[in-house]
Amino acid sequence: MGFLAIAGVDEAGRGCLFGPVYAAACILDPGKPIRGLDDSKKLDEPTRERLQALIRERALAWAVASASASEIDSINILQASRLAMRRAVESLPVAADYLLVDATTIDLPIPQRNLIHGDALSRSIAAASILAKTARDQRLREYDAQYPGYGFARHKGYGSPEHLSALDRLGPLPEHRFCYAPVRERAQRTLFS
């Protein structure tokens, strides 16, 4: 059976201590190839930005969605990632008839295949990876302006020494993921100090 609208799906920000997890779904146009697609983690920021513009311009369809830090705290990061992925697929302007998903499955009645290291094996998953990562990075730059002193534009919410030091000095924010031990421990310290 031939599928006409195969969407690659991936997430970004699963390992972060702060902010939403983002996901994207992308249906590439075979008639408009994009050179250089790869796992977003292997690409530098200027390359990701250049490629995301090409993906948005040339793909048959794409969508980006997220799940909030409070949703992550409520249902855990895996389920929140899957929720963001489902939201992205459901937001596609063209309905997908098959899904290629990076390392998990999505609760949708659409035929799908999960691929371990899918962002390195599938061009459409790589495209989704780039869209999710660049959208999340943009949101973290906005948070950086909103919450000076935390360094979100630099570390993007990951548990870097700079971020952990800011948490020690300034305490957690509502958008921190309190189910993650480094945040939870610092929140408890702040509460009981």
Domain residue spans in the chain? 6-191
Q: What is the pLDDT of residues 74-97, one digit of tens each?
A: 999 999 999 999 999 999 999 999
Instruction: Assess contact for 144 and 153: CB atoms under 8 A.
Output: yes
C-alpha 100: how far from chain center = 16
What dihedral do alpha carbons 71, 5, 94, 104 form, nearest 10°?
0
Q: Is residue 190 very low, low, confident or very high in pLDDT (cuts 50, 70, 90)?
A: low
Instruction: List beta partners, residue 176.
Output: 18
pLDDT digits (tens, 9 = 90+) for 166-178: 999 999 999 999 9
Per-residue pLDDT, 188: 87
Instruction: Please name which of 137, 123, 120 lies closest in space to residue 55, comparing C-alpha atoms.
Output: 123
- Distance from the first to the final alpha carbon of the chain: 63
The pLDDT of residue 189 = 79
The answer, yes or no, to whether residue 1 has pLDDT greater than 70, is no
Task: Check pLDDT > 80 for residue 21.
Answer: yes
* Residue 22 confidence (pLDDT) above 90: yes
CA distance 23 to 131: 8
Q: How far is CA 39 from CA 66, 67, 148, in A?
A: 19, 21, 30
Comparing CA positions, the residue from 128, 159, 154, 130 lying closest to residue 141 is 154
Specify the 3-state DSSP secondary structure of 61. strand
d(CA 175, CA 132): 18
pTM: 0.96
- Write out pLDDT tens, residues 38-60: 999 999 999 999 999 999 999 99
pLDDT at position 192 is 63
User: What are the pLDDT digits (tens) for 146-164?
Assistant: 999 999 999 999 999 999 9
We find that the CATH architecture of domain 6-191 is: 2-Layer Sandwich (3.30)
Strand 112-115 and strand 98-102: pairing? parallel
% of the chain exceeding 70 in pLDDT: 97
pLDDT higher than 70, residue 101: yes
d(CA 32, CA 75): 39
